[in-house]
Amino acid sequence: MRKLASIQKVIKVEPIPGADAIEMIQVLGWELVSKKGEFLPGQSCVYCEIDSLLPITPEFEFLRKSCYRKMADGTEGFRIKTVRLRSQLSQGIAFPMSILPEGNYQEGDDVTDILNIVKYEPPIPACLDGIKKGEFPSFIPKSDETRCIAKNTVIKTDKGEKLIQEVIKNPLKYKILSKNTETGIEEFVSIIDTECRRNNNNWFEIKTENGNILYVTEDHFVFLPELNCYRQVKDLIVGDILEIK
């Protein structure tokens, strides 16, 4: 299961230009915004990943205004998602170890259950209940595994061709070209969410006949138009026909 909350080390702390009350800290491969002076390099913290739904308790109440959400099953809490503060991208949130009950904690320990954190699942509108389509193809098994595309990949947006690393710096600025596999229509759609992380999985190089090269992780899905299905990159064979724009 995915560790939504775990014990991690603060790798570095850096100021944010123009900000007096907040600063940037790095945890794992993520950059987070934190209260100034709350952490020092090498200090342990409780890191909560994107899509963590924190329970409604006094220590998390400060998140209510910006993070309150209600899930389809009625569960309420504070959802952690990608935000931008003073031009600094923040992907996740870090808390001091004091939010945990006393114990002997080690780096990497999973404290998701201890803090009663669950994974956020967006509610389905009543008019779409049972037929929802959109964020992820309904016929692909969904898991918590990381599926990544290299940051220097060029994608088509409504502002022209851009590197992914440029798009995720300001996802609200762009719409990306997407194809509806049922209608065959291509259109620019809004970006729902983004994640940026250092990935330690196996990377694959996909090279097409026209010379285009795409770097993705082994568990990334690509569309095979002749078979009208998605397939993980690790299961492809030379000669497969892919839909890559």
Between residues 58 and 152, which one has the greater pLDDT? 58
- Tell whether the model's pLDDT for residue 119 goes beyond 80: yes
Beta bridge partners of 149: 216
Q: How confident is the model at residue 167 (pLDDT cuts 50, 70, 90)?
A: confident
- Tell whether the model's pLDDT for residue 230 goes beyond 60: yes
Question: Is residue 80 located within the same domain as residue 182?
Answer: no
Residue 140 falls within a domain, yes or no?
Answer: no
The confidence score (pLDDT) of residue 168 equals 76
| CA–CA separation, 95 and 34 (whole Å) | 9
| CA–CA separation, 5 and 27 (whole Å) | 12
Total structural domains within the chain: 2
The confidence score (pLDDT) of residue 215 equals 75
Domain membership of residue 51 as a residue range: 5-119
The confidence score (pLDDT) of residue 34 equals 92
Question: Is residue 115 located within the same domain as residue 29?
Answer: yes
Residue 47 falls within a domain, yes or no?
Answer: yes
Kindly report which listed range (41-55, 85-99, 129-143) carries the lowest average pLDDT score. Answer: 129-143
- Tell whether the model's pLDDT for residue 244 goes beyond 70: no
Question: Is residue 108 located within the same domain as residue 170?
Answer: no
Contact 9, 25 (CB under 8 A): no
Q: How confident is the model at residue 159 (pLDDT cuts 50, 70, 90)?
A: confident
Residue 34 falls within a domain, yes or no?
Answer: yes
Residue 56 falls within a domain, yes or no?
Answer: yes
Residue 137 falls within a domain, yes or no?
Answer: no
Averaged pLDDT for residues 55-66: 91
Between residues 198 and 227, which one has the greater pLDDT? 227
Averaged pLDDT for residues 152-163: 82
The confidence score (pLDDT) of residue 206 equals 77
Q: Which of 8-22, 79-93, 214-228 has the highest mean pLDDT?
A: 8-22
Question: Is residue 115 located within the same domain as residue 10?
Answer: yes
The kind and range of the H/E element at 229 are strand 229-232
Question: Is residue 110 located within the same domain as residue 149?
Answer: no
Question: Is residue 98 located within the same domain as residue 17?
Answer: yes
Query: CA 39 → CA 26, 61, 62, 83, 174, distances in Å?
Result: 10, 20, 18, 20, 34
∠ at Cα 11 (8, 12), nearest 5°?
140
Averaged pLDDT for residues 103-115: 93
**Beta strand extents in the chain (DSSP E only):** 5-15, 22-27, 30-35, 44-48, 52-54, 68-70, 76-79, 83-85, 88-90, 93-95, 118-119, 154-157, 160-163, 175-179, 186-190, 203-207, 213-217, 221-224, 229-232
Q: How confident is the model at residue 36 (pLDDT cuts 50, 70, 90)?
A: very high
Residue 242 falls within a domain, yes or no?
Answer: no
- Tell whether the model's pLDDT for residue 88 goes beyond 90: no
Question: Is residue 90 located within the same domain as residue 9?
Answer: yes
- H-type alpha helices, the chain: 64-67, 164-167
Kindly report which listed range (88-102, 112-126, 136-150) carries the lowest average pLDDT score. Answer: 136-150
The confidence score (pLDDT) of residue 181 equals 57
Q: How confident is the model at residue 137 (pLDDT cuts 50, 70, 90)?
A: very low
Q: Which of 23-32, 36-45, 176-185 has the highest mean pLDDT?
A: 36-45
Of the candidates 117, 26, 135, the one whose C-alpha atom is nearest the C-alpha of residue 79 is: 117
| CA–CA separation, 196 and 89 (whole Å) | 10
Question: Is residue 102 located within the same domain as residue 19?
Answer: yes
∠ at Cα 32 (98, 124), nearest 5°?
95
Question: Is residue 101 located within the same domain as residue 204?
Answer: no
Q: What is the CATH number of the domain that holds 86?
A: 2.40.50
Between residues 158 and 213, which one has the greater pLDDT? 158
In sign, the C-alpha dihedral spanning 86, 155, 27, 142 is positive
Residue 209 falls within a domain, yes or no?
Answer: yes
Question: Is residue 164 located within the same domain as residue 112?
Answer: no
Residue 179 falls within a domain, yes or no?
Answer: yes
Q: What is the CATH number of the domain that holds 217?
A: 2.170.16.10
And the tokens for 6? 């775990």
